[in-house]
Structure 1
Amino acid sequence: MVVKLMAILLLETALFLITGHVVLANNSNWNHEPLEDTTNAVLKSIQSEDGDIIDCVDIYKQPALNHPALRNHKIQMLPSYVPTMEKTPRKINRAKRKKNKLYSKSESQVSVTKQIWHKNGSCPEGTVPIRRNMQTMNKALPILSRRYNSSFNRSKHEFSQNNTLNMLRANHAMSILLTEGYAYTGAQGDIAVYNPTVEGSDEYTLSDVSLENGGQGFFEAIRSGWMVNPMVYGDKNTRFFTYWTADGAKSTGCFDSLCPGFVQVSKDIALGATIDHISSPSNRPSQVMSISIYKDQNTNNWWVDLGGKKIGYWPSELFEGLSHHAASVQWGGDVYSTRLTTPHTATAMGSGEYASPIDWLVGSIRGMRILQYSSGWKYPEWTNTYADQYDCYSFYLQIVADDPVFYYGGPGSGGPVSRCH
């Protein structure tokens, strides 16, 4: 094992010196295995009832630090500041305003801080939980850019309901809310967590918050949310995930800890681990994933916060444009399949129900906020909605409430109410 790791590291270092960046493909087969027999990096292993093995790894020997750009990286244990909410509320240019009484984060929302493996143990101080990759596959399906070239009409302080963007990407269907045109240093959203149907083993569905920078062919992106992805995880459980790329998924980036890059500091949350207690479309969400991604203005590292827990960060050394700011922010759902035409896949998005203003029944994101080089979260001034295949995966933006809600999702071709063919 030691010889194998040394060979990998020597190869990556050579490639880094030649090309200026390490070639860690989005299709990377980085396979974390216990290192206790040699380096004593794994101090404890926990068998989860869903089949996962969680290794409690010495925080200073975690896989992230094997990235050539992080050889001398000093782990930042906490962000230097935590953004707060701006006091000035967003003004909606409407004659009538309606308070969304059905949404009260303090009363009805439960942040996702529990994962299945927690039932069988916990990691000790000084370690981070790393999900052992037991897959025999050597591919992790790429997440393509949501960037686009066309422009669209926007109205200041308004949430547009237009669907005019040209964002279609091969093998992807998306229903999203997005904002662009400014320098963004953070984004957050409260995402209802479901377990939608994934028909094929080579397909996935996800819901997340995403920030991007750069052109369509060579963009940088950081993303986090929940995902059902049998090719990556070997089952159809709903899992917390992170993702990054520095070159449009051409040769860098990956999910979770499948390649070096994302530095973990939390001993409680494992990237890629199954979420406990999934919401049902027939009831109000029992789980809401509160995701915040923001840049530390002193170190330029991008932090991920899950329900108030500081999970870790993407170091600024991984990026160029994102080491300064993001150019766009997106919230919503994404389905990957090679069957997005007739016959269409039955892989669902969100809760598997079409978007609707009926609270609690469909996929939804609330509490959407951004940062723009300030200390406070605020509503975005410019937004737009978009769906690749509205008959299969729709959206509805509730803009008559004092806190707009983005509803999205659909059954694909599955189920009796499907309009998708």
Structure 2
Amino acid sequence: MASSCCRISPVISVFVLFMFFIFSVCPVESVSFNGSDQNFHPRKESVKMKFIRDRLMKINKPSIKTIQSPDGDLIDCVLSHLQPAFDHPLLKGQKPMELPERPKGENTTSSVFKENVQLWSLSGEFCPEGTIPIRRTTEQDFLRASSIRRFGRKIRRPIRRDSSSNGHEHAVGYVSGNQYYGAKASINVWAPRVANQYEFSISQLWVIAGSFGNDLNTIEAGWQVSPQLYGDNYPRFFTYWTSDAYQATGCYNLLCSGFVQINHRIAIGAAISPISSYNRGQFDISLLVWKVIILVLL
């Protein structure tokens, strides 16, 4: 993976879901309020709500169709070229690329492919060709955030490969080297009950480049249970990226510009269904990440 902009773009595929990453700094407005503070001065409250509504206008794009999900989500079918990615200065006026060729041995018509893997699609209703499904972001999503200014982005914390990082308990399996061109994982899907909205549970594939300092680049995909981000305890398919160790770039899903989605049947951030049950049926998702060389005329 390369950190130089617009030369090498990794691609993530989840059940024939293809998305491209453009690494560049996404501007973030400087606002001093915190979402967890409930004692707002009326004027400050007004400023806060204006900030939220301005952000919602940028995130939620006009749709040609809206699908109601059983879990309460609204899935908007947005024209592909109007998705948040194309607010990025390097992508303005562009359109989604053609589907790239998959690596040898990765057959798109494989029998393991299943379209109805999310709650919103169980009715058999999908977004039409030429659009992508986007989970609508609400004011309540912002108000749950511990920091409204950093909504949709990870809390900055030291990144370690052991299980003792600031109360963040985790198990990691990894390989290191510089001759890798992709990675694949099948991840079992569960719905662990977390204690409160400030806790979360996650299972993911993580591709890293750079050191563990400020030049860290990551591409992440998997499922997560995050009441703070989504308002419930459903396991949801997510993506994340950063090119500066979570300082000023990157975000979850489509909550900032720079990430292009192609598939019109998978909604990033939507709940996965079915899920595994103890001593009963097991369900997993397959994640495939590979590097594609893309030439861009500047």
TM-score, scaled to structure 2: 0.71
Closer, same or farther in 2 for the Cα pair 1:166/1:264, shift >3 Å? closer
Normalized per residue, the structure richer in strand is 1
What are the within-5 Å matches in structure 2 for residues 57-136 of structure 1?
57-79=78-100, 81-85=101-105, 113-120=116-123, 121-134=125-138, 135-136=141-142
What does residue 236 of structure 1 align with?
A: 233
Q: Measure, in 1, the Cα distance between the counterparts of 2:28 and 2:105.
A: 37
Q: Which of the residues 155, 166, 169 maps onto 1:173?
A: 169
Deviations 1:346-383 (A, max 9, x none): xxxxxxxxxxxxxxxxxxxxxxxxxxxxxxxxxxxxxx
* Offset at residue 281 of structure 1 (A): 2.0
* Offset at residue 170 of structure 1 (A): 2.2
Q: Measure, in 2, the Cα distance between the counterparts of 1:167 and 1:228.
A: 19
Structure 1 unaligned regions, length at least 5: 1-19, 36-40, 87-105, 149-164, 301-316, 318-421
The amino acid across from 1:295 in the alignment is K
**Is the 1:24–1:253 contact (alpha carbons within 8 Å) kept by the matching residues of 2?**
no
**Is the 1:216–1:248 contact (alpha carbons within 8 Å) kept by the matching residues of 2?**
yes
Q: Measure, in 2, the Cα distance between the counterparts of 1:125 and 1:77.
A: 13
**Is the 2:132–2:262 contact (alpha carbons within 8 Å) kept by the matching residues of 1?**
yes
What does residue 262 of structure 2 align with?
A: 265
Q: Which of the residues 284, 291, 295 maps onto 1:288?
A: 284
Closer, same or farther in 2 for the Cα pair 1:247/1:271, shift >3 Å? same
Q: Measure, in 1, the Cα distance between the counterparts of 2:180 and 2:197.
A: 36
What are the within-5 Å matches in structure 2 for residues 385-400 of structure 1?
none
Q: Measure, in 1, the Cα distance between the counterparts of 2:207 and 2:237.
A: 17
Closer, same or farther in 2 for the Cα pair 1:76/1:110, shift >3 Å? closer
Q: CA RMSD in A?
A: 3.0
Q: Secondary structure at the match of 1:170?
A: coil
Q: Measure, in 1, the Cα distance between the counterparts of 2:171 and 2:96.
A: 36
Closer, same or farther in 2 for the Cα pair 1:110/1:194, shift >3 Å? farther
Q: Measure, in 1, the Cα distance between the counterparts of 2:104 and 2:182.
A: 12
What are the within-5 Å matches in structure 2 for residues 396-411 of structure 1?
none
The amino acid across from 1:178 in the alignment is Y
What does residue 71 of structure 2 align with?
A: 50
What are the within-5 Å matches in structure 2 for residues 9-408 of structure 1?
21-24=25-28, 30-31=55-56, 35=61, 41-79=62-100, 81-85=101-105, 113-120=116-123, 121-134=125-138, 135-137=141-143, 138=148, 139-140=151-152, 142=154, 168-218=164-214, 219-285=216-282, 287-299=283-295
**Is the 1:140–1:231 contact (alpha carbons within 8 Å) kept by the matching residues of 2?**
no
Relative contact order (C-alpha < 8 Å, sep 6+): which is higher?
2
What is the identity percentage for the equivalent residue pairs of Structure 1 and Structure 2? 35
Closer, same or farther in 2 for the Cα pair 1:51/1:166, shift >3 Å? closer
The amino acid across from 1:142 in the alignment is K
Q: Measure, in 2, the Cα distance between the counterparts of 1:193 and 1:166.
A: 23
**Aligned residue pairs: how many?**
238
* Offset at residue 270 of structure 1 (A): 0.4
* Offset at residue 76 of structure 1 (A): 1.2
* Offset at residue 64 of structure 1 (A): 1.0
Closer, same or farther in 2 for the Cα pair 1:82/1:292, shift >3 Å? same
Q: Measure, in 1, the Cα distance between the counterparts of 2:129 and 2:179.
A: 37
Q: Secondary structure at the match of 1:180?
A: coil
* Offset at residue 72 of structure 1 (A): 4.6
Structure 2 unaligned regions, length at least 5: 1-23, 30-34, 36-50
Deviations 1:203-248 (A, max 9, x none): 1111011101112122111100111011111111110001111111
Closer, same or farther in 2 for the Cα pair 1:78/1:229, shift >3 Å? same
Q: Secondary structure at the match of 1:189?
A: strand
Q: Measure, in 2, the Cα distance between the counterparts of 1:284 and 1:119.
A: 18
* Offset at residue 145 of structure 1 (A): 7.6
* Offset at residue 56 of structure 1 (A): 0.2
* Offset at residue 119 of structure 1 (A): 3.0
**Is the 1:212–1:222 contact (alpha carbons within 8 Å) kept by the matching residues of 2?**
yes
Q: Secondary structure at the match of 2:170?
A: strand
The amino acid across from 1:249 in the alignment is Y
What does residue 10 of structure 1 align with?
A: none
**Is the 2:80–2:95 contact (alpha carbons within 8 Å) kept by the matching residues of 1?**
no
Q: Measure, in 1, the Cα distance between the counterparts of 2:181 and 2:164.
A: 26
Q: Measure, in 2, the Cα distance between the counterparts of 1:69 and 1:177.
A: 35
